[in-house]
Amino acid sequence: MVTRVRRRNSALRRPVDLLISMSGFSPLTTILAYELIRPRRLLVIYSEQANASVDFIASRVIGPGRLRYQDFSHRSVEPTDPQGVYREVKAELDRSATPDDRRLSAVIDITGGKKVMSAAAALAAWQLNLGICYLDGEYDQEFRRVVPGDERPLLLDNPTALFGEQEMAAALETFRNGAFGSAHAQYQDLCEQIAEPVRARFMRALSELYRAWCDLDLSALPDRIATVESALVTYRDLTSETYDRINEQLAFLRSLTTEPPDLTRLLVCFYVLGMHYQAIGRHDFAALLFYRTVEGCLARRLELRFPGFSCKKADYRLIGDIDDLTRAYRRAMSDTGGRGSAELPTDVDLKTAVLLLYALGDDFMSQAGLHTPSSVKSLRDLAAVRNDSVLAHGYRTISPAQSDKLSARAKHLLTVFWKLHGPPADVQTLCQRLRFVDTDR
């Protein structure tokens, strides 16, 4: 019978390193499970009332062509203690190892033993990602076992492989916390485990896209965008709101894949990522991105007002008479209490950009509320907070309050800049639409 069943069921011919079998008063289910699965090792878990079964099981599974004594073990548990089964299974897995360090192949046989033991064994399989074996068939009430010859083995993958809802929920929580690399790894595992992996595949692709976005890995975006687009075709369970929002994000990110990227949209990208890091409590990273937003708005305003001018290698002749500009720059530095060289620098940073625009009486400065000495000094002091941070030039940690101030200033300057140089749309609405989705539906 065993040979016939094994021949019909290809799943029984897969190698199994460890079989863990619940045993009750009848040892036959454990012996039959061993014969059908033929594991390399066997652990029998039984209650003290059924300890007579252990010797009988050992006499049938140990011997030439079968198990060695060292490959057979048994543990007694209190049947009413569901944690006892879990502890014994977990301990056996921790002790076990494969010769080639691959993942251990283990199956739990839940046929025998008391019902509470079988229930605990099934829960252990769920928790520990193990397969489940159950011998079905017509039950003989008198002998308390399946009628010999009527046994039908049911081999079930771990419940995660069938449904995966708990693991999908855990992966989504990781995703919501902004740990997109870890979320990608979790979804990758789920893609290989669950029976219907369409949602996991989509979230795997979205996690990888968001990770590249967070890392500002612009060169990786085209492939990541294409992968998400492909996953969107097969995943039909997104709400129209989430679907539209993701498509808006993809369109925005494409503008960052050109060479050079759309610099106006790059400022929006800095601000959106700053909001993301601020929301998850990474205020030092948020501060850097808000600083980049402020600095970029000022520098980009100079470059757009004076075509050909570059803040990376400043040619002040494109702005006007160098002597006149130098005098205005020095006067602006004196008025606002600035320090440093009174000469025009080759590389224009935030402090230089704000002084140049102030000296020029630029419209951007008046609209942004930076047209007075005190307002310029206030911006410079706020920039010093970022410069003193541990991720910049100092050793201090950015506080939530400081992060809020940088965020507010970045938001204000980006709004003014967008009105002057962006498309006719509200930039703050755009920023909200670009924030990472937090759902898989």
CA distance 282 to 288: 10
| Model pLDDT, residue 101 | 62
Q: What is the DSSP letter of 72?
A: E
Residue-level pLDDT, tens digit, the chain, 441 residues: 555 556 555 557 778 999 999 998 888 889 989 988 899 999 999 987 778 889 999 999 999 999 999 999 999 999 888 789 999 998 998 887 666 666 688 999 998 888 889 888 888 888 887 889 888 766 555 555 555 555 667 777 665 555 677 788 899 999 999 999 999 999 998 898 787 899 999 999 999 999 999 999 999 999 999 999 999 999 999 999 999 999 999 999 999 999 999 999 999 999 999 999 999 999 999 999 999 999 999 999 999 999 999 999 999 999 999 999 999 999 999 999 988 888 999 999 999 999 999 999 999 999 999 999 999 999 999 999 999 999 999 999 999 999 999 999 999 999 999 999 999 999 999 999 999 999 999
| Model pLDDT, residue 139 | 52
CA distance 403 to 397: 10
C-alpha to C-alpha distances, 401 to 177, 179, 397, 406, nearest whole angstrom: 21, 24, 11, 9
| Model pLDDT, residue 348 | 95
Please provide the size of the chain in residues. 441
What is the DSSP annotation of 349-393? -HHHHHHHHHHHT-HHHHHTT--SHHHHHHHHHHHHHHHTBTTTT
| Model pLDDT, residue 342 | 84
- Helix (H), strand (E) at residue 244: helix 240-254
CA distance 234 to 204: 13
| Model pLDDT, residue 340 | 83
∠ CA(74), CA(72), CA(35), 5° rounding? 105
| Model pLDDT, residue 289 | 98
CA distance 343 to 326: 7
Q: Provide the b/e sequence for 251-263 (b: ≥16 CB within 10 Å).
A: ebbeebbeeebee
Cβ neighbours for 36, distance < 8 A, ≥ 6 positions apart: 2, 5, 6, 12, 133, 153
| Model pLDDT, residue 253 | 98
| Model pLDDT, residue 296 | 97
| Model pLDDT, residue 136 | 75
Q: Are 102 and 122 in contact (CB under 8 A)?
A: no
| Model pLDDT, residue 162 | 56
Coil, strand or helix: which one is 139? strand
pTM above 0.75, yes or no: no
Q: Are 286 and 277 in contact (CB under 8 A)?
A: yes
